[in-house]
Amino acid sequence: MRMIKPPSRTEWDTSALVANGRTYLDDGLSFKEIAARVIESATVISSRIEPYCTAPRGEEDGRRIIFVVRVAPQTCDLLYNAPDGMRGRYWQSPDHGFAATKHLIDRLLLTLMSFADEPPAPPKKCAPMSVEDIKASLEGLSAKVWPRERDDDQKPLWVDDQLKVLRWEQYEEDSAKGRQWRRSFISSDLEIKGAFIGIDQTEYIPEDKRDRSCQIHRFGFT
């Protein structure tokens, strides 16, 4: 893959972020260094099975595994907001962002699968997932890593922040997500969401997520 430089301070300006002491975002950490911090400190908090609630005809048997993983303080912020964090990799190109996501999941796979020795019970009218199903879900093309957006009571885990990324600012009006890319997450929890898979482990990708990498590249959010 062709190397692309992380955004410059003009292209990715953290100077107006609301929380004090976040100068660490400009320390120049590489994605590999940030990912190493995630992998080193990750503790699995919970897992659940989510049914494919908006499945089109023929994919109603779809479901996926979701893990909540807690990382060290600052690490979630670095992963999301640092110039060469995960979103910074998507800023560089959709392929770089996709590769960064896969790198994280691959390195966390053993930790996640150890937690999944006893798969969680599925919701009503949802097929269970075996250990093999969980692994297939995590290895799917559409599996992803993202900061946890809401707590167990569905309360938002973000603040409206002042990260300034020129490209995403310019394209705000073209995206249904508008200014959501400007949010900063206040939890240190990440969600590892596997791909939706059917009973035979066929992967189902929701239509509006088939260009997810391109959406984040252009708009900073999906």
For the stretch 83-102, pLDDT in tens is 999 999 999 999 999 999 99
- How many helices (DSSP H) and strands (DSSP E) are in the chain? 7, 10
Express each pLDDT in 98-144 by its tens digit. 999 999 999 999 999 999 988 999 999 899 999 999 999 999 999 99
The confidence score (pLDDT) of residue 175 equals 79
Dihedrals φ, ψ of 216, to 5°? -65, -40
Express each pLDDT in 137-171 by its tens digit. 999 999 999 999 999 999 999 988 888 999 999 99
Query: How distant, in Å, are the alpha carbons of 48, 145, 219 from that of 66?
Result: 5, 10, 24
- Return the DSSP state at 157: -
pLDDT band at 1 (very low <50, low <70, confident <90, very high): low
The confidence score (pLDDT) of residue 203 equals 98
119-131 burial, b for 16+ CB within 10 Å, e for fewer? bbeeeeebbebee
Rounded to an integer, what distance in angstroms lies between the CA atom of residue 207 and that of residue 106?
25
Provide the mean pLDDT of the chain: 93
Assess whether pLDDT exceeds 90 at residue 15: no
The confidence score (pLDDT) of residue 155 equals 95
Average pLDDT over residues 11-21: 81
The confidence score (pLDDT) of residue 178 equals 83
Q: 96 pairs with which residues across the strands?
A: none
Assess whether pLDDT exceeds 90 at residue 16: no
Assess whether pLDDT exceeds 90 at residue 45: yes
pLDDT band at 206 (very low <50, low <70, confident <90, very high): very high
The confidence score (pLDDT) of residue 202 equals 98
User: Which of 199, 213, 218, 212 has its CA nearest to residue 55?
Assistant: 199
The confidence score (pLDDT) of residue 160 equals 86
The confidence score (pLDDT) of residue 49 equals 98
Dihedrals φ, ψ of 131, to 5°? -60, -40
Q: Is 165 helix (H, G, I), strand (E, B) or coil?
A: strand
Provide, rounded to the nearest whole percent, the portion of the chain with pLDDT above 70. 97
| 84, 30 Cβ separation under 8 angstroms | yes
pLDDT band at 208 (very low <50, low <70, confident <90, very high): very high
Indicate the pTM of the whole model: 0.94
The confidence score (pLDDT) of residue 20 equals 66
pLDDT: is 213 or 161 the higher one? 213
- Return the DSSP state at 208: G
